[in-house]
Structure 1
Amino acid sequence: MTITREEELEHLREIGRIVANTLQAMARAIEPGMTTGELDDIGRGLLETAGAKSAPEAVYGFPGATCISVNEEVAHGVPGDRSIHEGDLVNIDVSASKKGYFADTGATFRVGRVAPGLDRLLRDGRRAMQIGIAQVGADRPLAGIGRAIEAFASPRGYTLIRNLASHGVGQALHEYPEEIPTWSVRGERRRINRGLVLTVEPFLSRGALWADTGDDGWTLHGMPPAPAVQYEHTVVATDRGAIVVTLPG
């Protein structure tokens, strides 16, 4: 989607706040012993109260209101009977629509204490997203997002999962540009037009290069197996850089 009117931006900000508030409330609710299904129920209730519809459920028939991925699960984890334990990494991805506008956000959280290397992975995953967002602006190269993220990640020994990319969003959950690499790509000539709405969501790992679909047909696992984190915001490109619309408030 390309924003052309202030009214469109306000609608995006509204749904952006809803998914951001839902994400943060779910994160605060995480505690050892609860199931991912119970955590998803919290997210569902918050979205419904705000008058929003779960995007993965409505668009793709996903069996949950939100995607909750634990430890070896990289993305699209199906909420259910899996228990959350001390020391787990829990990724929550919340996308929803309201009044025909979509926003998408996500983050990875630790449950209690984790190994120092995982703490660094969490911090660096968020930093990688922020570095990518800093490359967003009107008439800037789309490839600049991936180049900057990889320039940060590679010297620190991280890998970027290559079949999970950022994407356009706004009037649909996934729209043009359908795939925005968060790693360096040769031959990418597209530029970011003013008002473009997109996500920035690197999947930073300590060794995984690919994400394979599990037996449930939804959950993605890193290959080769390795810890991974994801952080995501929905942003709008302007002449002065990116407006982040998925902020709580």
Structure 2
Amino acid sequence: MTVTKQDELDGLKEIGRIVANTLHAMAKSMEPGMTTRELDDIGKALLEREGAVSAPQSSYDFPGITCISVNEEIAHGIPGDRVIMSGDLVNIDVSASKNGYFADTGATFHLAPIDPSLDRLCHDGKRAMRIGISQVGSRKPLAGIGKAIGRFASDRGYTLIRNLASHGVGRSLHEYPEQIATWPTRGDKRRINKGLVLTVEPFLSRGGHWATEGDDGWTLYSEPRAPVVQYEHTVVATDRGAIVVTLPG
């Protein structure tokens, strides 16, 4: 989607606020002993209260309202009977629509007791996302996002999952440009047009390079197996940089 009018930006900010509030409320409610389905039910209630519709469920018939991935699961985890435990690494991905506008956000949380190396990975995962967002702006190279994130990851000894990309969003969950690398690439000459709506969502890891699909047809795992974190915002490109629409409020 390309934003051309204020009411379009307002619509994106509304659904962005809803998914951000939902994500943060779910994270605040998360505690050892609860199941991922119970956590997903919290997200369901919050989205319904705001008149928003789960995007993965409505767009892809995903068997849950939000995606909740624990430890070895790195994305698209199906909410179910899995019990969240102390020390777990939990990724929550919330995407939804309202009044024809879509927004997508996600974050990884580390439950106490804190493992310093995982805590550092989470901290640097957020930094990687922010570095990517800093490369978003009118007429900037789309490949600049992955180039900057890749430099940051390499300098600190991390790897990036290279088949889970950022994407266009706005009028649907995934739209043009559908593959926006958050790792260094060659040959991508595309430029970011003013008003483009996209996600920035690097998957930072301590050794993982690829995402592989599990037996359930949805859940993704790191190959080789290694801790992975993901942080994601939906942003709009402007002449002055990126407007982040997935902010709580």
Same fold by TM-score greater than 0.5:
yes
Q: Which residue of 2 aligns with 1:102?
A: 102
Instruction: Report the counterpart of residue 181 of structure 1 in structure 2.
Output: 181
- The one-letter amino acid paired with 1:202 is P
Q: Write the distance in 2 (CA, Å) between the matches of 1:83 and 1:223.
A: 24
Q: How many angstroms apart in 1 are the aligned matches of 2:238 and 2:155?
A: 30
Query: Could you list the runs of 5+ residues in structure 2 that have no partner in the other structure?
Result: none
SS in 2 for 1:40: helix
Aligned 8 A contact 1:129 1:232 in 2: yes
Match of 1:55 in 2: 55
* Cα pair 1:88 1:114 within 8 Å, conserved: no
* 2:213 partner amino acid: T
Cα deviation 1:197-240 (Å, max 9, x = unaligned): 00000000000100111111100000000000000000000000
Task: Look up the SS of the partner of 2:149 in the other structure.
Answer: helix
Amino acid in structure 2 at the alignment position of 1:16:
G
1:34-45 correspondence runs (5 A): 34-45=34-45
**CA RMSD of superposed structures (Å):** 0.4
Whole-angstrom CA distance in 2 between matches of 1:67 and 1:115: 24
Distance 1:160 1:154 in 2: 9
What percentage of residue pairs aligned between the two structures are identical? 74
1:97 aligned counterpart, secondary structure = strand
Matched letter for residue 42 of structure 2: I
Name the count of aligned residue pairs: 249
Question: 1:56 touches 1:66 (CA, 8 Å); kept in 2?
Answer: yes
Cα separation, 1, equivalents of 2:106 and 2:187: 29
Letter in 1 for 2:111: V
Q: What secondary structure does 1:131 align onto?
A: helix
Structure 2 Cα separation of the partners of residues 8 and 92 of structure 1: 26
The residue aligned with 1:164 is: 164
- Tell me which residue corresponds to 2:147: 147
Give the ranges of 4+ consecutive aligned residues of structure 1 lying more than 3 Å apart after TM superposition: none
| 1:51 alignment partner, SS class | coil
Structure 2 length as normaliser, TM-score? 1.00
What TM-score, normalized by structure 1, do the two folds share? 1.00
Q: CA deviation at 1:112?
A: 1.2
Partners in 2 of 1:134 and 1:52 — Cα distance?
29
The whole-number CA distance in structure 1 between the counterparts of 2:66 and 2:150 is: 28
In the alignment, what sits opposite 1:91? 91
SS at the partner of 1:12? helix
In 2, Cα distance between the equivalents of 1:59 and 1:5?
Answer: 25
Letter in 1 for 2:8: E
Instruction: Give 1:114 shift.
Output: 2.4
Structure 1 alignment gaps of length 5 or more? none
Secondary structure at 1:83 match in 2: coil
Provide the rounded CA distance (Å) in 1 between the counterparts of 2:166 and 2:234: 10
